């Protein structure tokens, strides 16, 4: 079996942000203790089933993983190390919310082995943070980054969000500048999207929340690329930028449609051509793991056409695009035979670049990436 990335989902948050459609639930001290025990059982279950596989990346996401006590995070990571073979240079990331993390916690998680931290900043404007229903303030952003550095994190990422209601490109530019002042190794800059079942969706339906017009959103995307590139960051994925050598390896594996094992409530896995997903609700996840050792809710075997479509959908998000030869070897097909009819019009419109080795979005295609990708899924 190939090396695989491990994802650990910690589903608790202090407060549900207005735009959030992740699997996050109100913090519960009592439940989270049992949740950690369930995670340990699930780790053991898969180690037994899959063998002691080589693991190049581990990612603790959420939710808010830093709501767990450092001792619990240490226990979970320790169990992964015990049951799998982590590469010597294994990238071990943790997501952190500025409102939840103390200096002592940062020191402890760094010494447990976490070597990359991703801090959910979103905005440097207090009104915008309130609008997003984030629970941190500006001071907490600065202190969290400074404390993370003091704790020894030399691979640090900041998450920012553009296209907020009423936001102008100048304001967005100032957020990027303030993020750059913190000298992070990596920046993720996503545009706000309104997802069903969020409180933002309901507000939008009632006409109480309006996103900036599409041209303004595109202008902000252009500002992102120009500002970060001229500061020496490489855009290696549509919304992700890094200093050379600091791309997020864990996410690169997703975009390469590589294999991964997701543990915890709602986590998804992709193994042996099969996609499977755990039960979302933490209490149900816990019960299921206690009885069966795992908590899979749905499984899907990907048909070749589906798997190829997904590989293109994910691969085109990377700026370097899709390696054609690798794709053909993996799926035993001629790329041109399968996708020739899709490629030609996109080439004529200048939306993609294509040669024997690589297919990628052009600069023009980057701005309408979703609609270009859709053509390959039709
Ligand atoms: S902190 Fe993140 S996971 Fe938690 S509610 Fe906010 S956006 Fe969702």
Residue whose Cα lies nearest atom 8 of ligand 1: it is 20
The alpha carbon of 275 is separated from its chain's Cα centroid by a whole number of angstroms, namely: 17
Alpha helices (H) in 197-334, listed in sequence order: 199-205, 214-230, 249-255, 282-292, 304-315, 324-331
Write down the pLDDT at residue 118. 98
Residue pLDDT, tens place only, 321-372:
999 999 999 999 999 999 999 999 999 999 999 988 999 999 899 999 999 9
CA–centroid distance, residue 15 to ligand 1 (Å)? 7
Residue whose Cα lies nearest atom 3 of ligand 1: it is 63
Instruction: Quickly list DSSP for 283-316.
Output: HHHHHHHHHHS--EEEEEEPPHHHHHHHHHHHHT
Residue pLDDT, tens place only, 16-55:
999 999 999 999 999 999 999 999 999 999 999 999 899 9
Rounded to 10°, the helix 70-83/29-50 angle is: 10
CA separation for the pair 187, 352 (Å, rounded): 25
The tokens describing 301, both together, are 């075997």
The helix/strand/coil state of 211 is coil
Rounded to 10°, the helix 70-83/103-112 angle is: 10
Cβ-based burial of 89 (10 A; exposed 0-12, middle 13-18, buried ≥19): exposed
CATH number of 5-255: 3.20.20.70
CA–centroid distance, residue 159 to ligand 1 (Å)? 12
Residue pLDDT, tens place only, 154-164:
999 999 999 99
Asked whether residue 1 carries a pLDDT value surpassing 70, the answer given is no
Q: Which residues contact 48 (CB under 8 A, 6 or more apart)?
A: none
Asked whether residue 111 carries a pLDDT value surpassing 80, the answer given is yes
- Per-residue confidence at 187, pLDDT binned at 50, 70, 90? very high
Asked whether residue 96 carries a pLDDT value surpassing 90, the answer given is yes
Evaluate: CB of 10 within 6 angstroms of ligand 1. no
Atom of ligand 1 nearest to the CA of 24: 3
Write down the pLDDT at residue 20. 96
Q: What are the residue ranges spanned by the domains of the chain? A: 5-255, 322-377
Instruction: Quickly list DSSP for 156-188.
Output: EEEEEEE--TT--HHHHHHHHHHHHHT--SEEE
CA–centroid distance, residue 94 to ligand 1 (Å)? 14
Span 73-100, average pLDDT:
95
Note the pTM of the prediction, 2 decimals. 0.96
In the chain, the percentage of residues whose pLDDT exceeds 90 is 94
């Amino acid at each position: 079996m190939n090396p695989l990335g491990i994802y650990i989902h910690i589903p608790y948050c202090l407060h549900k942000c207005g735009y959030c459609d992740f699997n996050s639930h109100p913090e519960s001290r009592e439940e989270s203790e049992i949740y950690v025990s369930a995670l340990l059982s699930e780790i053991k279950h898969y180690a037994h089933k899959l063998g002691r596989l080589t693991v190049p990346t581990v990612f603790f996401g959420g939710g808010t993983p830093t709501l767990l006590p450092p001792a619990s995070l240490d226990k979970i990571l320790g169990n992964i190390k015990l049951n799998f073979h982590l590469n010597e240079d294994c990238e071990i990331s943790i997501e952190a919310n500025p409102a939840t993390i103390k200096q002592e916690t940062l020191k402890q998680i760094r010494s447990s082995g976490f070597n990359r931290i991703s801090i959910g900043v979103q905005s440097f404007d207090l009104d915008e943070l309130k609008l997003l229903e984030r629970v941190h303030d500006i001071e907490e952003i600065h202190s969290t980054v400074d404390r993370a550095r003091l704790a020894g994190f030399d691979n640090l990422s900041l998450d920012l969000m553009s296209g907020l209601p009423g936001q102008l490109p100048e304001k967005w530019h100032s957020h990027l500048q303030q993020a750059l002042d913190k000298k992070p190794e990596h920046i993720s800059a996503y545009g706000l999207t309104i997802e069903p079942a969020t409180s933002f969706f309901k507000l939008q339906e009632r006409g109480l929340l309006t996103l900036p017009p599409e041209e303004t959103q595109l202008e902000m995307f252009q500002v992102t690329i120009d500002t970060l590139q001229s500061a020496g960051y490489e855009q290696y994925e549509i919304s992700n930028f890094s200093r050379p050598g600091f791309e997020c390896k864990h996410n690169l594996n997703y975009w390469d449609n590589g294999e991964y094992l997701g543990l915890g409530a709602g986590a998804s896995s992709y193994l042996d051509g099969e996609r499977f997903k755990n039960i979302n609700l933490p209490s149900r996840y816990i019960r299921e793991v206690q009885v069966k050792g795992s908590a899979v809710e749905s499984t899907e075997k990907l048909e070749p056409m589906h798997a190829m479509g997904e590989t293109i959908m994910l691969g085109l998000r990377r700026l370097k695009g899709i390696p054609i030869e690798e794709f053909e070897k993996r799926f035993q097909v001629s790329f041109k035979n399968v996708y020739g009819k899709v490629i030609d019009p996109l080439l004529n419109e200048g939306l993609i670049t294509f040669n024997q080795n690589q297919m990628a979005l052009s600069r023009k295609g980057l701005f309408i990436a979703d609609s270009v990708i859709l053509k390959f899924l039709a």
